[in-house]
Structure 1
Amino acid sequence: MSQDLIRQHLLAAFPQFEPALVDVLAAHAALKTFSAGDLLMNTGQNMRFTMLLVEGLVKLYREGEDGLEFFMYYIQPGGACALSMICSTRQQTSEIKAKAVDKTTVLAVPTALMDELMKSYKSWYYFVLETYRARFEELLVVIDHVSFKAMDERLEFYLEKQHRDLNTRNLLITHGEIARDLNSSREVISRLLKKMEQQNKVVLHRSYIEYLK
C-alpha cells in the first residue's frame, strides 16, 4: 500500500519522472509527514536523505552565529531542497534549517541511491540540474537585494515574493516574523509597513497583511 501511495504522490507532484524512476523511488524511498512548525532539517544535522516535497510548504533559513535567522526561499510541491542534495551526496552536515509552514509530506530519498539515480535516469538528472539552477538564481536575487537595496525596497520585494510564492494576497505573517526573516527589528518593519499602507501598497489587518500591488 505504501508503494502505491508513493506512486500516487510522485505522479501528482513529479509528472516529468519516467516510469522506471517512479518504480525505483517507490521501492526505496519513504514518506514522512510533518506538522506546521516542525523542523525537517536543522543546522549541523547529518543528511542521510534528499527531500522531495509532495504536499505542503517548507521554509528554508540560514542561521547566523548570533542565532539570528535569515529567510532564503520556499519549497513547494514538485520541488526539492538543493542543499540537502549536496549535503547528502557529500555526506556533509546541513548548514540550513528547513521548517514546515503547514502540514507537509516529503519523500525521503536515501543518500545511497543518489549516484544510481544520476547515472541511470535522465529525468532525475535533469531534475537535479534544474533544481540547482533555480535555487542558485533565486539566491542571487536575494543577495542582490541584501547587498544593494535599502530596507524599504527589501521589504517590498519580500512581500511581493510571499504573494507570488504562496499565491495569495492575504499574508498570514507577523511583523516580528518579517523582521526575523529580513534580519531587522520589529519596530523598523512596523514603521515601513505603515508607510506602505499610506502609499496604498498594503492594508494592515490584525492577523494578516493584505498585499495590494
Structure 2
Amino acid sequence: MQLRDYLPFWAKLDGSQQDRLNRAALYCTAKRGTILHNGSQDCVGVLVLTDGRMRTYTLSGEGREVTLYRLFERDMCVFSASCVMRGVTFDVTIAAESDVSFFQIPSDLFRELMRESAVVANYVNELIATRMSDVMWLLDQVMYRRMDARVAAALLEEAELEQSEQLKLTHEELARHLGSAREVITRMLKYLQSEGLVSLGRGAVCLLDEAGLRRLAGDSLR
C-alpha cells in the first residue's frame, strides 16, 4: 500500500516533497470505536483513510453527540491537524466507525507542504469548504427539519452504507448520530413502525418500505 495512491496532488509534488512524505507518513490501523482525534487541542496530523469508515462529530452544550460527516476510503481529514490551519478552530472528535487503516501525516510536514505548494494549499482550502458546506447543511436540518424526516433519512443512509435493510442499530446509536435524546428517537421509531415503514427488534431496525421512508425523508436526504 503506497501513500502516493491516496493523494490526488502527489504527481504535482517534486521529488524532495514526495520523499519527505514517504519517510514521515505512518501507516496505522485502529479498531472500531477508537477515538483518533479529540478536540481542537489534539493536533495528531492529517489522516488519509485507506480502508473502513470514520465518523466526525461534535458535542452540544448538553453533551449530546451529533454526526457532522463521515469519512470513507481515500478521504483526507485535515481537521485532525487543526494546528496547521491558523484561524480555523473546528472542535470535533473523530472516531473509527469500523475497523480502519490510514496514513497519518505529521502536522509540521503538512504545514511545510502547504507553504511550498499552491496545489496542496488549494486542495486543502477546497476540502475545508466542502466540509463547512456539510456542516451548514446539518445546521439547516437541526433547525428547520422535522425529526421524523431526519430519522427516516438516517435509516436510509445507514442501509446504503451497510448494503442491507437489516440494520444492527440501537436507539442510543441513532440518537448520538442525530444529536437527539434516546427517548425522542424511540418515539419516532415506534411511529415509523406503526406506519409500516420499519420493524423494530432488540438492537436492530429492519426497513420494510424504502419508498415510504424516502417520501417521509424528503429534503433531509443528502
- TM-score range relative to shorter protein: 0.7 to 0.9
Q: 1:118 to 1:45 in 2, by over 3 A?
A: closer
- Paired letter, 1:147: M
Partner of 1:41: 37
Q: Does 1:178 align with 2:188?
A: no
Partner of 1:108: 104
Q: 1:195 to 1:66 in 2, by over 3 A?
A: closer
| 1:164-175 correspondence to structure 2 within 5 Å | 164-175=160-171
Q: 1:185 to 1:107 in 2, by over 3 A?
A: same
Distance in 2 between residues matched to 1:33 and 1:128, nearest whole Å: 24
Partner of 1:147: 143
Report the alpha carbon displacement of residue 123 of structure 1 after superposing the two structures with TM: 5.2
Report the alpha carbon displacement of residue 143 of structure 1 after superposing the two structures with TM: 0.6
Report the alpha carbon displacement of residue 184 of structure 1 after superposing the two structures with TM: 2.4
Provide the aligned C-alpha RMSD in A.
Answer: 2.9
* TM-score, with length taken from structure 2: 0.77
Q: Does 1:98 align with 2:94?
A: yes
Q: 1:78 to 1:94 in 2, by over 3 A?
A: same
Q: Does 1:157 align with 2:153?
A: yes
Query: 2:37 touches 2:44 (CA, 8 Å); kept in 1?
Result: no
- Of 126, 132, 137 in structure 2, the residue corresponding to residue 130 of structure 1 is 126
Distance in 2 between residues matched to 1:119 and 1:45, nearest whole Å: 22
- Of 189, 194, 201 in structure 2, the residue corresponding to residue 193 of structure 1 is 189
Q: 1:190 to 1:19 in 2, by over 3 A?
A: same
Unaligned runs of 5+ in 2: 211-222
SS at match of 2:103: strand
Report the alpha carbon displacement of residue 154 of structure 1 after superposing the two structures with TM: 2.0
Partner of 1:202: 198
Q: 1:128 to 1:152 in 2, by over 3 A?
A: same
- Paired letter, 1:210: C
Distance in 2 between residues matched to 1:16 and 1:201, nearest whole Å: 45
Query: 1:84 touches 1:94 (CA, 8 Å); kept in 2?
Result: no
Report the alpha carbon displacement of residue 145 of structure 1 after superposing the two structures with TM: 0.6
Query: 2:171 touches 2:203 (CA, 8 Å); kept in 1?
Result: no
Structure 1 stretch displaced more, 20-29 or 35-44 = 20-29
Distance in 1 between residues matched to 2:87 and 2:167, nearest whole Å: 37
Report the alpha carbon displacement of residue 174 of structure 1 after superposing the two structures with TM: 0.7
- Of 54, 57, 62 in structure 1, the residue corresponding to residue 58 of structure 2 is 62
Q: 1:23 to 1:206 in 2, by over 3 A?
A: farther
Tell me the alpha carbon deviations over residues 41-87 of structure 1, each in whole angstroms, 9 at most, x when there is no partner. 11354304121111211111212343322221111111122422444
Tell me the number of residue pairs that the alignment of Structure 1 and Structure 2 aligns.
206
Tell me the alpha carbon deviations over residues 154-196 of structure 1, each in whole angstroms, 9 at most, x when there is no partner. 2123223334455544433211111233232323212211222
Distance in 1 between residues matched to 2:196 and 2:167, nearest whole Å: 16
Distance in 2 between residues matched to 1:121 and 1:166, nearest whole Å: 38
Structure 1 stretch displaced more, 75-84 or 161-170 = 161-170
Unaligned runs of 5+ in 1: none
* TM-score, with length taken from structure 1: 0.80
Distance in 2 between residues matched to 1:161 and 1:193, nearest whole Å: 15
Report the alpha carbon displacement of residue 16 of structure 1 after superposing the two structures with TM: 5.7
